[in-house]
Amino acid sequence: MLTRALLLTGTLLSSAAVNAQVFSRELGDFDLRMGTQPSRSMAQGLVKPTSPGSTFHGGLDLTHNSGWYVGQWAPTMGLKPGSNLEVDSYLGYKHPFDQTLSYELGMIHYSYPKVSPMDSQQFYAGLTVLGTRFGAAFSNDPDRRDSTVFADLGANRTLGVGVSLKYTTHQLGTPVSIADGGSVRTFNDWSITFSRPWMGVNLNVIYSDSSLDGGDCSAYSGQNPQCDGLLTFKAERTFY
């Protein structure tokens, strides 16, 4: 079943500048960035997406000239009823060979201060070639293993439309029973995002789906908002 959703999100943060998403400042050998979107290239492809209705979100990134970096991203502040504060902390290293080729390694710790048993870690690696990013990640938690590959193809020069894709395999430590008497231990999910800036607004069209359907969806616990096919239209504008 394909369902359609229209998600319009406005983010309001106080600052002196308008229509900016990332502030950058040099501190000696360090570069500090703060904003309402993940600024780190690899982490941006892996940090968990902002939940629908999460109006307040943001983070910071500190990079050293040597290539080492550390940062935090909060996709939700837990202000919405039924949501929890989440803080994604990452540490990594990025090394450019030249202006067209670089690699990156790192790890992300997903923490939920009010629900500590849900904490998890993820290791990632990737390659950037001519502005196109390819990456992979692996997490080995006590109750599950998740393996992810993703690609950010950048924006088409003619249409100005950016395209990114993500595919994840989930293996549960304990099979989940479903209504028909069977069980689910492994499933896959994926998403493709088309994005384009327009008059200060970030427009996104996202399609997501999984290998589960019908009654099997009761076992779903993946990266997408829901198990079945979902087409989301998202318009986001940041005011400072």
Query: What mean pLDDT comes out for the span 165-177?
Result: 91
Distances in Å between the alpha carbon of 33 and those of 23, 24, 146, 199, 237?
A: 5, 4, 29, 24, 19
- Contacts of residue 237, defined as CB under 8 A and 6 or more positions apart, other chains included, come to 10, 11, 19, 200, 201, 202
Query: What mean pLDDT comes out for the span 227-236?
Result: 89
**Other CB atoms within 10 Å distance of the CB of residue 14:** 6
Q: Round to whole Å and give the CA distance between 106 and 126.
A: 9
* Residue 87 bridge partners (DSSP): 111
Dihedral sign from CA coordinates of 183, 169, 52, 231: negative
Which tens digits make up the pLDDT trace of 194-213? 998 888 788 899 999 999 98
Which tens digits make up the pLDDT trace of 52-80? 445 566 778 888 999 899 988 887 776 66
Q: Round to whole Å and give the CA distance between 26 and 177.
A: 53
Query: What mean pLDDT comes out for the span 145-170?
Result: 86
